[in-house]
């Protein structure tokens, strides 16, 4: 896959034009920098602007067409019929783009060295910043390649907008040299770098696997690995501050962000209840129950969410790694975070239970909820004041968040009770709708135990494969 992608990618106009253009700009900035002696801030900004634009926009944006192009050219089916797994296809696409980015990266290095001699810059800092850009580029490319498996142009568009906003702020930061003085002698600096690298590796894995799972055949189980690795990552992130001097707040935030992304993925998977997927779980009885939260499907995703949410909440409540507020405030924050994740599923299962594009619908509903929540909060805040209890009677998680942010020290028991009711309500209907799927899982499991590994016929069959019907 890598060879084919490189053959194709390096023959494209975008690659050659960008490469030549960047070389021209690099030569120009070095020459001007030499003439200006010890460099000027504006030239410094121009240098970083071009480097970061190439690495954070030009290269990653090509990922958006990676898997989608194969579908458009009618070649995806042909590739899927080879021995390449969906994961290897996604990885190959990403690696090819990364190798091309690496070419840019190595092409820039001589100019950095020249800037050191003629422009009076800190060589180590510059190399470190370029390396950081390269890692960020790798993550962004993984996001775009992963998202390219989604057919909905709206989803890809929404992700592109979010990425553009994030990238723009990164480029602005990069153009100003990030505005930081790097202290290479500080151990915390290296701990932070290591944490950034590990998180980047995990993010690359996750987004590529997310894309791979969308193009893989139903019988390929990506969910178990994805969910277990997320747990492993979160456990490490939470335990590092317990056993070291590392700051616990960013670690917890990072763990929560990772978990939130994995939850969204798990809650938007199509259910696939095949004997070939369930059989490995039944081989070892003590862990056979794990099929109810580790196999593909939003119904198992619901249990996975509940389980990890409780674990994360208990850890936060017991360990209180960084928290200095009241218990009720902490409890309410935990419940609210959970409700915010699960709330769109309630909406989808109530009004759109037959949708085949769960992920797209989830993103859309979540966006609407966030916008509505903040709009209502502003209106109520302006009319009744931000401390008013009327906030608690608007059943939207983000309205509660706004209240919590405005009044961190004043959380009445009624608010905690109402948020708990909202969470229970959000869980009730999706759980009810998940019951038949769990029943199907039990039926298929019993069938396997009795030695029949064939796909069950009739009504169950209608339920087990409900993948994209477009």
- Give the binding site for other proteins (CB under 8 A): 1, 3-4, 7-8, 11-12, 73-75, 77-84, 217-220, 274-276, 453-455, 457-458, 461-462, 465, 467, 469
DSSP class of residue 451? Answer: T
CB of 63 vs other proteins, minimal distance in Å:
17
CB of 276 vs other proteins, minimal distance in Å:
4
CB of 5 vs other proteins, minimal distance in Å:
10
Joined tokens for residue 161: 């907008």
Are the beta carbons of 280 and 288 closer than 8 angstroms? no
Rounded CA-CA distance 231/308 in Å is 8
**Cβ nearer to other proteins, comparing 1 with 260:** 1
Are the beta carbons of 360 and 155 closer than 8 angstroms? yes
**Cβ nearer to other proteins, comparing 45 with 456:** 456
CB of 79 vs other proteins, minimal distance in Å:
7
**Cβ nearer to other proteins, comparing 166 with 276:** 276
CB of 8 vs other proteins, minimal distance in Å:
5
Are the beta carbons of 195 and 251 closer than 8 angstroms? yes
Rounded CA-CA distance 446/278 in Å is 10
**Cβ nearer to other proteins, comparing 51 with 272:** 272
CB of 427 vs other proteins, minimal distance in Å:
30
**Cβ nearer to other proteins, comparing 75 with 169:** 75
**Cβ nearer to other proteins, comparing 311 with 455:** 455
C-alpha closest to that of 132 among 48, 210, 208: 48
Q: What angle do CA 193, 102, 255 make, to 5 degrees?
A: 30
Are the beta carbons of 52 and 175 closer than 8 angstroms? yes
Element (H, E) at 337: helix 327-351
CB of 247 vs other proteins, minimal distance in Å:
46
**Cβ nearer to other proteins, comparing 216 with 394:** 216
**Cβ nearer to other proteins, comparing 382 with 469:** 469
Measure the CA dihedral 32/35/41/45, to 10°.
10
Task: Write out the DSSP string of 250-280.
Answer: HHHHHHHHHHHHHHHHHHTPPP---HHHHHH
CB of 274 vs other proteins, minimal distance in Å:
6
CB of 57 vs other proteins, minimal distance in Å:
23
Task: Write out the DSSP string of 63-114.
Answer: GGGHHHHHHHTT-HHHHHTSS--HHHHHHHHHHHHHHHHHHHHHHHHHHHHH
Are the beta carbons of 301 and 263 closer than 8 angstroms? yes
User: Residues near 332 by Cβ (< 8 Å), separated by ≥ 6?
Assistant: 400, 404, 411, 415, 416, 419
**Cβ nearer to other proteins, comparing 93 with 403:** 93
Q: At what angle do helices 298-319 and 223-243 cross, to 10 degrees?
A: 0
């Amino acid at each position: 896959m890598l060879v084919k992608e490189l053959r194709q990618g390096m023959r494209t106009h975008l690659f050659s034009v960008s490469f030549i253009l960047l070389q021209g700009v690099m030569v120009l900035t070095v020459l001007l920098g030499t003439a200006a002696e010890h460099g000027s801030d504006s030239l410094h900004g121009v240098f970083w602007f071009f480097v970061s634009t190439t690495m954070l926009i030009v290269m990653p944006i090509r990922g958006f067409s990676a898997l989608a192009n194969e579908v458009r050219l009618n070649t995806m089916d042909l590739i899927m019929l080879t021995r390449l797994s969906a994961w290897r296809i996604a990885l190959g696409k990403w690696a090819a783009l990364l190798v091309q980015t690496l070419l840019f990266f190595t092409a820039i290095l001589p100019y950095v060295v020249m800037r050191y001699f003629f422009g009076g810059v800190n060589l180590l800092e510059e190399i470190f910043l370029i390396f950081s850009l390269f890692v960020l580029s790798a993550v962004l490319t993984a996001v775009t390649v992963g998202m390219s498996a989604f057919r909905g142009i709206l989803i890809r568009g929404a992700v592109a907008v979010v990425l553009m906003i994030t990238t723009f702020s990164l480029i602005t930061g990069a153009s100003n040299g990030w505005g930081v003085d790097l202290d290479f002698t500080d151990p915390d600096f290296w701990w932070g770098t290591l944490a950034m690298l590990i998180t980047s590796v995990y993010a690359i894995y996750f987004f590529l696997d997310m894309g791979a799972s969308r193009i893989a055949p139903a019988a390929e189980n990506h969910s178990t690995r994805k969910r277990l690795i997320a747990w492993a990552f979160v456990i490490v992130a939470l335990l590092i501050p317990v056993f070291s001097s590392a700051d616990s707040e960013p670690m917890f935030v990072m763990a929560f962000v990772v978990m939130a992304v994995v939850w969204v993925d798990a809650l938007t998977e199509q259910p696939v209840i095949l004997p070939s997927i369930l059989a490995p779980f039944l081989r070892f009885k003590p862990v056979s129950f794990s099929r109810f939260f580790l196999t593909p499907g939003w119904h198992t995703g619901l249990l996975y969410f509940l389980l990890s949410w409780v674990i994360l909440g208990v850890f936060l409540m017991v360990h209180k790694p960084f928290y200095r507020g009241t218990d009720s405030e902490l409890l309410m924050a935990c419940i609210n975070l959970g409700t915010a994740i699960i709330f769109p599923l309630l909406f989808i299962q109530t009004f759109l239970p037959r949708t085949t594009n769960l992920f797209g619908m989830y993103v859309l509903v979540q966006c609407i909820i966030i916008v509505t929540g903040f709009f209502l909060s502003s209106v109520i805040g302006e009319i009744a004041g931000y401390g008013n209890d009327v906030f608690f009677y608007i059943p939207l998680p983000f309205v509660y968040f706004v209240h919590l942010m405005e009044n961190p020290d004043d959380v009445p028991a009624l608010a905690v009770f109402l948020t708990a009711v909202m969470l229970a309500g959000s869980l009730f209907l999706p759980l009810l709708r998940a019951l038949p799927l769990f029943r199907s899982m039990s039926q298929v499991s019993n069938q396997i135990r009795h030695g029949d590994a064939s796909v069950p016929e009739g009504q169950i069959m209608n339920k087990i494969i409900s993948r994209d019907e477009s």
